[in-house]
Amino acid sequence: MKYLPELFVANARWAEDMQTSDPGFFSKLAGLQDPAYLWIGCSDSRVPANQITGLKPGEVFVHRNIANVVVHTDLNCLSVMQYAIDVLKVRHIIVCGHYGCGGVRAALEGSSLGLIDNWLRHIQDVRDRHIDFLAALPDNTTRWRALCELNVIEQVRNVARTTLVGDAWKRRQPLMLHAWIYGLEDGLLQDMQGSFCEEDEVDPVIAQAVATIRSRYPTHGHPGIERVRK
């Protein structure tokens, strides 16, 4: 072990502990993958899907990218979704964002970080769609928090609009979508009230979820979009 020996040592300790506490753990894990959930989350190292949901390995299928974005041209994300829906037959797709997301902040402020600017353009589209509301908020910290929430809602809408989900619903496959957000400061998940299990529910549920977000934030006039596009 020439490189990173501490990680191999930690891995060996973890494997031994798991084998001690559950002697059949690895044999069961190797023989079956049967998750009920697909988790689409942020790549942020502080938001591990299994740990924060209390689920064991094998119980949640995971796709992560910067700021939990779902883009209809992203074959990586779409391939994960297709396998989860068609092969694993997951019953729930959870889009989970988190407060304090660096990607959302960069999109909010228009910061230039290099190649990733092209990816963050999708979140800036969300920002621009809600620009009047965000501009009326009292400070950038509040805008950042609100945009983290709005981004989750917009991304679960994007999931619903994929042909993969649409086809599943057409064949009456049980599949519910959810919009959640995670608090780094307290470790708690929050349901953003963006759950639906058929196409006709999508628009009214999304509209209500956005209205609920807007109602939680006091606004102070409209200072202009330059305060948002810092």
Q: Does the pLDDT at position 110 exceed 70? A: yes
CB 43 within 8 A of CB 104: no
CB 177 within 8 A of CB 165: yes
pLDDT of residue 221: 59
Q: Which of 77, 96, 101, 148 is catalytic?
A: 101
Average pLDDT, the chain: 94
pLDDT of residue 2: 85
pLDDT of residue 33: 82
At 228, the pLDDT band (50, 70, 90 cuts) reads low
Q: Which of 64, 98, 143, 178 is catalytic?
A: 98
Distance CA 96, CA 41 (A): 5
Q: Which residues of 4-22 are buried (b: 16+ CB within 10 A; e: fewer)?
A: eeeeeeeeeeeeeeeeeee
Distance CA 62, CA 51 (A): 12
Q: What is the pLDDT of residues 7-26, one digit of tens each?
A: 999 999 999 999 999 998 89
Domains and CATH numbers, the chain: 1-31 (no CATH), 33-227 (3.40.1050.10)
Q: Is 44 a catalytic residue?
A: yes
Q: Mean of the pLDDT values across residues 48-53?
A: 95
Q: Is 42 a catalytic residue?
A: yes
For residue 190, what is the DSSP state?
E
Share of the chain above pLDDT 70, in %: 95
Is 216 buried (19+), middle (13-18) or exposed (0-12) by CB count in 10 A?
exposed
pLDDT of residue 230: 46
Q: Is 101 a catalytic residue?
A: yes
Q: Which of 46, 72, 121, 129 is catalytic?
A: 46
